[in-house]
Amino acid sequence: MKRRIRIAVPSKGRLKQPSVQLLQNAGLSILEEERTYVCATSDPRFEIVFARVFDVPAYVQYGAVDLGITGHDLVLEREAEVHELLDLGFGKCQLVVAVPEGSDINSIDAIPASSRVVTEYPNLAKKYFERLGKQVEVLEVAGTTELAPQLGLAKVIVDLTSSGETMRKNNLKIVGTVLDSTCRLTCNKISYRTFEREINELVHSLRQVGS
């Protein structure tokens, strides 16, 4: 019955390197990353697949993988029913509402009703504005949200920022925060039941090297 426990790790972007490093510090080095879809690790109980960070919450919820490293923001955006076993500490970022520097909008309240909001996070954006009682039109894009104001697509965006650098570079100012996020170790609920001992051991080592 027992098989290898499968962990999804971000395949690229700012979360990949710290994820790989943290797993390595916890005693899980990735063997032969090149050319393989599923990578063996130095601990024979675990194997790793690289996946798009946006897809990880669904992979975990549906049990395609047992564990997955992904952002708290994405778990909420995907409404994934998963355990968030551990806050990995890195990948700190904020989901913010931003407008062009020169805009006369200086707060959330000043955003006109039925404004168009461009975002990669339609679910969270909709909920955020609904909670504020503000009617907006949310338009989903698959990337480079920060370009939308320059292209005249929208005057308001909801996007992720970690240092504020990209925002400044694109002449955007932040007028509100939707949520704070960090990277999490997520777990399929049924996998947790099946592999509780092994998973708790991994969480324990990650906790030790993380702190």
Partner 1 sequence: MFKFQDFDGKMLALRTEMTTPIARIVSAKMASCPEPIRLSYVTNVFRHGQSYVGSGREFCQAGAELIGCDSSETDGEILSLIVSCLRKLGLSDVRVDMGHADLLKDLLNATGLGEEGQVTLRGLLADRDNEKLKKFLDGINVQPDLSEIFLQLSRCRKLGELSSLPFNSSEYGRPENHVSNLLKTRDALIDYGVEGSVFFDFSLTRKIEYYTGMVFEASVPNTGLPLGGGGRYNDLIERFGCLKLPATGFALQIDNCLEALEAQGLQFAEKTRSTVLVTSSFRKVAIEAARPLREAGFSTSIDLQKADEKKTIDYAELSGMDYVVFVGASVVEPIRVYDVNSDTFRNTTLAAFSQQNGGRFR
Shortest reach from residue 193's CB to partner 1, in Å:
6
Cβ proximity to partner 1: between 87 and 103 the closer is 87
Any contact of residue 64 with partner 1 (CB under 8 A)? yes
x/- mask, partner 1, residues 33-62, rule CB under 8 A, reads -------------------------x--xx
How far, in Å, CA of 91 to CA of 187, rounded? 18
Answer for which of 177, 189, 208, 209 binds partner 1 (CB under 8 A) is 189
Binding segment (CB under 8 A) for partner 1, from list 32-40, 83-91, 147-155, 162-170? 83-91
Cβ proximity to partner 1: between 10 and 57 the closer is 57
How far, in Å, CA of 66 to CA of 191, rounded? 6
| CA distances, 69 to each of 2, 14, 50 (Å) | 22, 12, 10
How far, in Å, CA of 211 to CA of 13, rounded? 23
φ/ψ bin of 190: left (φ > 0), alpha (ψ from -120 to 50), beta (otherwise)? alpha
For the chain, state the CA radius of gyration: 19
Answer for which of 115, 166, 207, 210 binds partner 1 (CB under 8 A) is 207
Any contact of residue 151 with partner 1 (CB under 8 A)? no
